[in-house]
Structure 1
Amino acid sequence: MVSTKPTLVLISSRWHTPDSYSKFTDALKSADFDVHVPALPSVNRSRPPNADLATDTVLVREYVENLVNSGHIIVAIMHSYGGQVGTNALHGLGVESRAKQGKAGGVEHLIYMCASALTEGGAMIDKVKEFGHEYLMPLAFDFAEDDSCVSRDPKLLLIGPGCDDAEVEAYAASFQRWNGKCMYQPITHCAWREIPVTYIYTLQDMTLPLVYQKSMVEGLQAEGKKVATVELDTGHSPNLTMTKGVVDTISKVVDEMPK
């Protein structure tokens, strides 16, 4: 039987590769979802980095455009930095926007999974500055001279409790260097202005603290956007540490979408 569920596109976080999400995507496939995880160019191992937010935006936009032009209904799941990319890339691709142009398919929902949800002109670094946390940057991120960077303690800062040692080791081993300049690059478009939004708060997050997450959601609400929210009592990688909770959230979003 062919699934009638929407197609899921997972827009990954900094340092992550499609392989990083294997546990998560396997769980989504077991729930009868078709899942796509495009590889972001900013995590392509080039030294010095040769791709950034603009490159990631073009890649994701073209990837999703190909799907919607084939009639797919999309739910975009954005993890961490993936929120910056998806927010920037998916404008004009909403189901309603495309329907007004007589086009089928489109993005039906945006799910921000402890992800950057910004307004036009905003960059990831802005929240760090807003809360006076710039002094923490060298403690969290190891920048090389070419501006590529890694997390100084991914097991603590990116993963946290909830998995056995083998899972944590495998997940951390999948990470690649990322172009740290992306953190400072502003977005120019906001897909959330035209597409329904759910935000997954991660209460124990040590990379994108809860206070940042709530501030971003409040920023969207101040712009008149309705945002549904879900709380998961875990760290910055709920796809790994609370997989069932995320899959259940996605399934609930899908069940409540217009038929």
Structure 2
Amino acid sequence: MANQTPIAVLIVHGAYFLPSAWEDFCHGLTQAGFIVRCPRLPTCGDTRPPTALLEQDVMAVRAAAQELINSGHKLIVLAHSYGGIVASEAITQDFYASHSGKGVAYLIYLTAWLVQPGSSLSDVITKYGFQCKVDIGINEDGTVAAKNAPESFYNDIDIGKAKELASSNVTHNWLATSSSINGAPWKDLPTTYVYCAQDLAIMLPLQESMVQDALSASGTSRVATETIEAGHCPFLSKPEEMIQVVHRAAAVIG
């Protein structure tokens, strides 16, 4: 990448996280030669009662993507957990990489919600069950929080560190996940879904079911898979393995 415009990695974080949770991983990617952006999703840690919805999250990702494209970058979009819903809606065809090389060229769904067009997260849960060990606390203002984050998000991390990490988790506006999804950029762009085998937030059988639905719906094999022996946050517990996933995506798109 030294003799051309660096590939950019656009990170779409999950519902109970802020970009600060990704700082060390972003630094690792930067050291590896990538340009990195991780915009804050407005529904995460919103004012209470919350005001932002999925639409605002989509706008934040599209704005970051457009800024990178305007700077001449080819993009890898890395979406984690709820971020999969946001990325699927945000990355429309007008953001796809063009012949000039600028634009989104690869998608990585990291133990993310991979929802079919016309369906919602609730539809996935109805179909496959609530395969999740997160104790979700619902507040009167419509926000939700993870009451057992150390055990459910960071189960592969030392408990002391897990509690420290959990202290920075935020609330999420549950209405952001209630809408049906329209986008499916994974039907068009090279895509890797990263299974997290020890995940207790989106458990492995559910991850596998969503990917199988995607393969059946797309009629192609554009969704490849990799497996990491990690919990819900391998960008924290297995950062080097995740950086290698990004390197492999970068090798595909040049």
Q: What is the TM-score of this pair, normalised by structure 2? A: 0.91
Task: Please name the residue that 2:120 is paired with.
Answer: 123
- CA deviation digits over 1:10-53, x for unaligned, max 9? 00000111101122112212222211000000014311110111
Task: Please name the residue that 1:89 is paired with.
Answer: 90
Task: Please name the residue that 1:18 is paired with.
Answer: 19
- Structure 1 residue 113 and structure 2 residue 110: aligned? yes
- CA deviation digits over 1:198-239, x for unaligned, max 9? 010001111111111111111111122421111011111111
Q: Indicate which of 175, 185, 191 corresponds to 1:181.
A: 175
Task: Please name the residue that 2:238 is paired with.
Answer: 242
Task: Please name the residue that 2:249 is paired with.
Answer: 253
Displacement of 1:113 in angstroms is 0.5
Displacement of 1:172 in angstroms is 1.3
Q: Is the 8 A contact 2:5 2:73 kept in 1?
A: no
Displacement of 1:3 in angstroms is 6.7
SS at structure 2 position matched to 1:127: helix
Q: How many residues align?
A: 250
Listed as ranges, the matches of 1:1-259 within 5 Å are 4-92=5-93, 93-95=95-97, 98-99=98-99, 105-133=102-130, 140-161=135-156, 163-222=157-216, 223-225=218-220, 226-257=222-253, 259=254
Q: Is the 8 A contact 1:69 1:104 kept in 2?
A: no
Q: Is the 8 A contact 2:46 2:173 kept in 1?
A: no
SS at structure 2 position matched to 1:66: helix
Unaligned runs of 5+ in 2: none
- Identity, in percent, stands at 26
Displacement of 1:176 in angstroms is 1.2
Q: Is the 8 A contact 2:108 2:192 kept in 1?
A: yes
Q: Distance in 2 between matches of 1:147 and 1:227?
A: 34
Segments of 4+ in structure 1 off by > 4 A? 1-4
SS at structure 2 position matched to 1:25: helix
- CA deviation digits over 1:103-144, x for unaligned, max 9? 65100100000011122122222222112339x79x621111
Q: Is the 8 A contact 2:6 2:73 kept in 1?
A: no
RMSD: 2.0
Q: Distance in 2 between matches of 1:70 and 1:30?
A: 20
Q: Is the 8 A contact 1:9 1:35 kept in 2?
A: yes
Q: 67-76 or 33-42, which moves further after superposition?
A: 67-76
Q: Is the 8 A contact 1:79 1:112 kept in 2?
A: yes
Q: Which has the higher helix share?
A: 1
Q: Distance in 2 between matches of 1:253 and 1:133?
A: 31
Q: Distance in 2 between matches of 1:50 and 1:196?
A: 34
* Partner amino acid, structure 2, of 1:94: Y
Q: What is the TM-score of this pair, normalised by structure 1? A: 0.90
Q: Is the 8 A contact 1:5 1:254 kept in 2?
A: no
Q: Distance in 2 between matches of 1:44 and 1:168?
A: 19
Q: Distance in 1 between matches of 2:119 and 2:235?
A: 26
* Partner amino acid, structure 1, of 2:184: C
Unaligned runs of 5+ in 1: none
